[in-house]
């Protein structure tokens, strides 16, 4: 066999064409447009490719030429692995993955460590579009994404006016939950929320910080609460609101402890997520507080674990949110951009909310 053994460089489409004595176009067509050349030649091309160890057209070179990467990027601005620990994030991912596989598109998880301000990963991502999921509105990664000349859809973010958006009415949903509690008779409540900004502030939250929160979702949920309770005659500035940077059960526990220590008289603990609420339940149990008899606890999200626990919460369609984001991004119909999609939520009244212990029911019917 005269097969040259000095082939250090792997075969390319050009070298294959040279070997065959045909043009590069023809080799390209053998892979991409079988109808553009005779079956015999095509077979000959493919056989020679195998013989030379040519693995087929290089995906990156193809992407450069066709201006298509065949993938969408997902920006989470959390340690990437966080996405796999939070049930709501997992649901979102599943929905997004669903939309991607329908379109035959890849899904690139972009590493965006919130600690370092390293935006290079966003610049390096070879994608046809971005989905940005619940990052602070002042996040440099978000800014970097918006500078990229590709379609983007933001999720659980404020409407930017320039890119598609998917979300829910966080404020309205929380307002509804608050009204439920108010109608039960709760006036003296405590609140536990997730991180409000990029800086860690594990403790009480001033009204200013609530207002200036960089996480759209948290800001709106708090604002819904504030509005409802203010309308009910409660001085919102006196309500203890505790923030936790890390989002896990332990945070819910310690935050609940902090609120209950600050005001043992509260009758309800409103949590901005189910995870935090589940933690609060544990702290309540530790203190011997019976839920809902001694203390009402509510969550937000409607994750499975919450359902099992019978938690009073707001269910939001996390999977649908992911799917909607994917569909919006992959829908080539550019006309109507930017679009804004609001998904509906549902108030789930579980076994963790009831009238406060001392409350007389009649009080709400009297003059």
Check residue 124 for interaction with a copy of itself (CB under 8 A). yes
Pattern 24-63, a copy of itself, x by CB under 8 A: -----------------------------x-xxxxxxxxx
Check residue 7 for interaction with a copy of itself (CB under 8 A). no
Q: Output the CA–CA distances (angstroms, integers) from residue 100 to 67, 93, 342, in the order listed.
A: 18, 10, 20
Measured at the CA of 265, the angle between CA 264 and CA 270, to 5 degrees, comes to: 85
Closest distance to a copy of itself from the beta carbon of 300 (Å): 21
Q: Phi then psi for 74, rounded to 5 degrees?
A: -120, 125
* Binds DNA by CB under 7 A, chosen from 43, 47, 66, 81: 66
Helix (H, G, I), strand (E, B) or coil at 113: coil
* Binds DNA by CB under 7 A, chosen from 3, 6, 8, 9: 9
Which one of DNA, a copy of itself, none is in contact with 95 (Cβ closer than 5 to 8 A by kind)? a copy of itself
CA 163 to centroid of chain Cα atoms? 16
* Binds DNA by CB under 7 A, chosen from 13, 182, 289, 297: 13
Tell me how far apart the alpha carbons of residues 325 and 343 are, in angstroms, rounded to a whole number: 11
Check residue 10 for interaction with DNA (CB under 7 A). yes
Burial of 92 (0-12, 13-18, 19+ CB in 10 A): buried
Identify whether the C-beta of residue 214 lies closer than 8 Å to the C-beta of residue 198: yes
Who's near 147: CB < 8 A, 6+ residues apart?
Answer: none
Q: Which is nearer to a copy of itself, 60 or 262 (CB)?
A: 60
Q: Which is nearer to a copy of itself, 15 or 179 (CB)?
A: 15
* Binds DNA by CB under 7 A, chosen from 18, 46, 57, 90: 57
Q: Which is nearer to DNA, 24 or 287 (CB)?
A: 24
* Binds a copy of itself by CB under 8 A, chosen from 22, 27, 45, 100: 100
Check residue 302 for interaction with a copy of itself (CB under 8 A). no
Closest distance to a copy of itself from the beta carbon of 60 (Å): 5
Who's near 286: CB < 8 A, 6+ residues apart?
Answer: 253
Tell me how far apart the alpha carbons of residues 266 and 145 are, in angstroms, rounded to a whole number: 43
CA-nearest of 281, 305, 298 to 349 is 298
Check residue 94 for interaction with a copy of itself (CB under 8 A). yes
User: Rule CB under 8 A: which residues touch a copy of itself?
Assistant: 10, 53, 55-64, 69-71, 73, 79-81, 83-85, 90-91, 93-95, 97-98, 100-101, 104-111, 113, 118, 120-121, 123-126, 147-149
């Amino acid at each position: 066999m005269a097969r040259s053994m000095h082939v250090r460089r792997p075969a390319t489409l050009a070298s294959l064409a040279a070997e065959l004595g045909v043009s590069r176009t023809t080799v390209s067509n053998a892979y991409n447009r079988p109808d553009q050349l005779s079956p015999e030649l095509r077979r000959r091309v493919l056989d020679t490719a195998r013989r030379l160890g040519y693995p087929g057209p290089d995906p990156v070179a193809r992407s450069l030429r066709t201006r298509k990467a065949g993938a969408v990027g997902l920006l989470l601005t959390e340690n990437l692995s966080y996405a796999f620990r939070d049930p709501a994030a997992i649901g979102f991912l599943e929905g997004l993955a669903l939309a991607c596989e329908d379109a035959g598109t890849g899904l690139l998880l972009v590493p965006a460590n919130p600690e370092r301000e390293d935006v290079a990963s966003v610049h390096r991502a070879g994608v046809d579009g971005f989905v940005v999921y619940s990052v602070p509105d002042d996040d440099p990664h978000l800014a970097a994404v918006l500078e990229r000349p590709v379609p983007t859809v933001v999720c659980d973010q404020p409407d930017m006016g320039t890119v598609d958006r998917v979300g829910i009415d966080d404020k309205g949903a929380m307002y509804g939950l608050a009204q439920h509690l108010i109608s039960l008779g709760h006036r003296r409540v405590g609140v536990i929320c997730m991180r409000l900004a990029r800086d860690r502030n594990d403790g009480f939250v001033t009204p200013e910080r609530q207002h200036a929160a960089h996480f759209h979702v948290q800001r709106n949920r708090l604002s819904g609460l504030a509005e409802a309770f203010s309308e009910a005659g409660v001085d919102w500035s006196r309500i203890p609101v505790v923030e936790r940077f890390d989002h896990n059960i332990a945070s819910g526990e310690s935050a609940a402890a902090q609120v209950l220590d600050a005001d043992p008289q509260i009758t309800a603990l409103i949590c901005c997520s189910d995870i935090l609420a589940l933690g609060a339940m544990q702290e309540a149990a530790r203190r011997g507080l019976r839920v809902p008899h001694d203390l009402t606890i509510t969550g937000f999200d409607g994750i499975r674990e919450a359902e099992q626990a019978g938690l009073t919460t707001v269910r939001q369609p996390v999977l649908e949110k992911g799917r909607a984001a994917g569909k919006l991004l992959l829908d080539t119909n550019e006309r109507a951009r930017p679009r804004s999609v609001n998904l509906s939520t549902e108030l789930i009244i579980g076994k963790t909310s009831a009238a406060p212990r001392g409350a007389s029911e009649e009080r709400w019917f009297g003059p």
